Structure formats: C-alpha cells, structure tokens
Structure 1
Amino acid sequence: MSISVRPAVVSDHRFLAEMMYESMLPVVGHGMFDAALEGTGVDPVSFHEALLLNEASNWGQLDSFFILEDDDGAPGGVMGAYFANQPDLRPLTAEGFERVAANLNWSKETAQGFWRKYVSFFGFFGTAPQLQHPGEYLLEFGAVRADLRGRLLYRHMVKAHIERAKARGYKSVGSTGVAGNLVVERAMGRLGFEVRARFGPEYYRGLFPGMVRLVYDIPED
C-alpha cells in the first residue's frame, strides 16, 4: 500500500472534524464535548467543524494537522498538534468559544449552558494539573479511518510531526492516551515514546478514567 502524508488544507475541515471526534471514542465511547452539547441542537462533529473554521481549537488549529492519504489519494487519517507553553491548556478557551457560539447562532442561554458544563469538567482556568504535559510539541486527535486500521499507518503521521517539531527547534514530542488504552500506549512505545505521567480518575471527579502522558525525546544530530 502506498502511503503519503501531507499538511491539511481548509477543504479537509469536515474529514478532520469527523476524525477528531473518532479519536476520542476508544475506551470511553464519547467525546469531550458531548455532555456540554446536550440540548444545544449541535452534533459533536459539526461542533468540531466550527472549532476548526473559527480557529478556536486550542488543541490543534487546522494548519497543525497532517493528513494521511490512501492509494487513491483519499484522506485516511489525521493528527494535529499544539504546544505545551500555551497560557490556557484547555481544548477551548473563552475567547475561542465566543467566536464559535456566534458562528452557531447560539442564544445567550444556550451558550451559558454549554460553558457551565464545559468548565465543570475542564475548570475555569487552563492551568489545572491534569492539563499539564511534560512534552513540548503535543500530538492530539490522532485517528485512522476504520477500513485502514491494523496496518501500522498511525506511525507515518507521528513521524511527520516529529520531523516538523525537530525542524522548529523543539526538543520533545508529547502524546496523550486515555487510561486503559493499552493499544495506543504500546504503539507509541514502539515509536520510542515513554510514559512520563499518569492522571487517575480522581483528577476528573470520577467522570473520566484518567490520562497517560507519553514523551519522545528528539535525538540531537
């Protein structure tokens, strides 16, 4: 199978949104915004699409993504990235949410209802311990199309990001997995990533199984 990896472009936004949501389903079976979106009339994929088009995804803007293409040139996987030195490490900041809510034509009541549920999980400020990562250049929303899984294609996007991080002067690349997702943990381990931190369910008021932080130290030339 011939594989190519390219930077994402604006026309990829729907596929990106679909894969962003898909990346969150293993182990927990739901996305990070699902509970907050209840009652808004907006489905999770459309919400992620709005995040991208309004430059409000704090865990990976559209231009941070790599797209994996199959033999026919169709998109087969995605992986984005963001940086650990951001002042607000939540996936959505207050400023970004204002743009998204306006784009979705939400009423004041709908917007307030979403934001209350969102901050009840992620906190009022983006500096909570469970948001911290020991890596510098952080991978996020990595997913491969269902019919292409099991072919070790994930690694091509990881390697593309490592090369980009190295070219930009970063010393380490970080990744996150849901606690209990041993498939991801083992796959990243084969690529040289090491577990550097774990956050159990107590950090999420028992509403989430926890997270594991993995780091790859970029070798010096």
Structure 2
Amino acid sequence: MPQVEAVVFDIGNVLIEWQPERFFDSIIGETRRKAMFAEVDLHGINDEVDRGANFHDTIFAAAEAHPHWRGEVAIWHDRWIEMAAPAIDHSVRLLRALRARGIPVFALTNFGIQTFQIAEPVYPFLSEFDRRYISGHMGVIKPDTEIYARVEADCGVAPEALLFTDDRIDNVKVAAARGWQTHRFEGPQAWAGRLVADGLLTKETAQ
C-alpha cells in the first residue's frame, strides 16, 4: 500500500457530532420530531445549504412553506450551533497529533458557508487544517465525484497517497473508487488504531 502523504478528515460525526434528530427529540420530543421530519425534508434542505445556498434564507423559506412547523423549522437556524455539538475530543487530538508530526491534514466536508462561519469561533480546530475543502464554497457536495476530483487537482497529492475518513459509507465508497485509501469512521478509537497501523502515529501519540 502506498505511503500516506496527507490525511483527509470529514467534520460532521468525525470531529463534531451532528445528530439533528437527537437534538430535536430533546426540544420537542421524539413523537413530534418524527412527524416533522416526515413532512419536512430538513436533511434535503440542509444539503442545499451545504451546496452554497444562503443559510438564513433557505431555512426560513422552508419554515414559511410549512406553516404548521414554522417555529420548529426556525430552530434549525436559530439554534444550529446546539445541533452541531459537541466536539469529538479524541478525534481533535488525532488531528493535532498528525500535524505535530508534520503530516498534512485536510478537511473535506459538506458544510454551508454561513454555518461554517458560525462554527469556526466555537471550534478553533476548524482553522488548523493545512487545506480546507468546504462544500458550500465549492458548490458541490459529497458523494458527487466532482468534489473528490477537485480536491485531487488542488492538493497535488496522488489519490493513492490520500487517507480519508468519513462516517458515511457512500462518501467513503466514492473516494475508494477514485483510488484513495479510506476508513469508515465509527468512532475515534478505531480511527486511532488505523493511524497507528499505517505508521502515521504511535500508540502514545494516538491517545
């Protein structure tokens, strides 16, 4: 297997927990949340934000289009930072350990322009990547092959020398099909083990 020259992190559910259903369950209860998500395609609406649509305008247009759920949909905008929480501290330590060893670390994430601006001051590690590929600025989201091709063209690292972790198997499969080395993220401990197995970190630095 080729030597890894750069490590590529997804952000949601890799470095920051992203569980909107869990958050809404805590606010309006599971029964109402299920009813709302069945009627309002909030994840699809969020995909539009991740493609670069204006966060405020997109969410409030959805709120007006679903008057029965107007207040609840508005929560997606007004309390978004509470949904994007908490940080996955072990993953953040791994990011920093890689950089401390001089290994380039990139972000490849489905994230809106305005939502990333909201998150940056709350999560300082978002500014610590060597390169950041933010879907909202690129106008395309994973798992579209275009976003991977644009990363390859920009970073100058051969696909087979990139190691990519993401919690979504569809995103991982497209990267693997392009020749990237991949790891399906199912928790920081297993990810740490992969980094150790690949010789990128020691057991001590991967704690």
- Whose RCO is larger (CA < 8 A, sep 6+)? 2
TM-score, normalised via structure 2 length? 0.34
The structure where strand makes up a greater share of residues is: 1
Q: Which of the two has higher C-alpha Rg?
A: 2
Q: Return the TM-score normalized by structure 1.
A: 0.32
